[in-house]
Amino acid sequence: MAPRLWAKVFKENFPKLPDNALSVPQDTLRRIFAQLSELRHTPVHRLPITAGDTSRIITSALSLAEALQDTARSAVLAELISEVEEEARALGQNIVALEARITLELEDVDRARRELDAEERRILAQQTVEDWECRNVIRSVLMDSERKVLADD
């Protein structure tokens, strides 16, 4: 039976259930069934989901299995929660390592950029010096030529 139908059946029959029929309070089941639409909506629409969201959804499923006294599924879900939490820890460690590596690489890029900027300033300064030297040589040649021309007169 589809989860939505289970929610409807339980909602209609909550008042009729004896107190000892469920191993969890009815409020807990109401909360679990309220999350069923999210559980269905997430994969249908391929929404991104975090490991924490996954763990929370599986925990709700575990609560439902325990309420229905389904020990086999409860054990499987409890193991799945452990696996998801372990994967979340591993992902967290990978993210920290990735961020550290990226930080180092960006620092290298920044250092290289500063070195290139300094090299550019040095080249431009050298160009200015060489330009002045060329102008001085040309000025000297022109002055010498002018003196020769005027001396020949």
Give the CA angle between residues 88, 93, 96 to the nearest 5°. 125
- Taking the C-alpha atoms of residue 127 and residue 130, their distance in angstroms, rounded to an integer, is 5
Q: Closest Cα partner for 6 from 81, 60, 71, 77?
A: 60
- Taking the C-alpha atoms of residue 119 and residue 114, their distance in angstroms, rounded to an integer, is 9
The more confidently predicted of residues 148 and 153 is 148
**pLDDT for position 35:** 74
Q: Closest Cα partner for 84 from 47, 55, 123?
A: 55
- Taking the C-alpha atoms of residue 70 and residue 62, their distance in angstroms, rounded to an integer, is 9
**pLDDT for position 19:** 67
Is the pTM value of this prediction over 0.75?
no
Average pLDDT, stretch 108-130? 98
**pLDDT for position 47:** 79
Helices (H), the chain: 3-13, 26-44, 51-67, 71-152
Of the ranges 15-29, 39-53, 121-135, which one carries the lowest mean pLDDT score? 15-29
Q: What is the pLDDT of residues 36-87, one digit of tens each?
A: 777 777 777 787 888 888 888 888 888 888 877 889 999 999 999 999 999 9
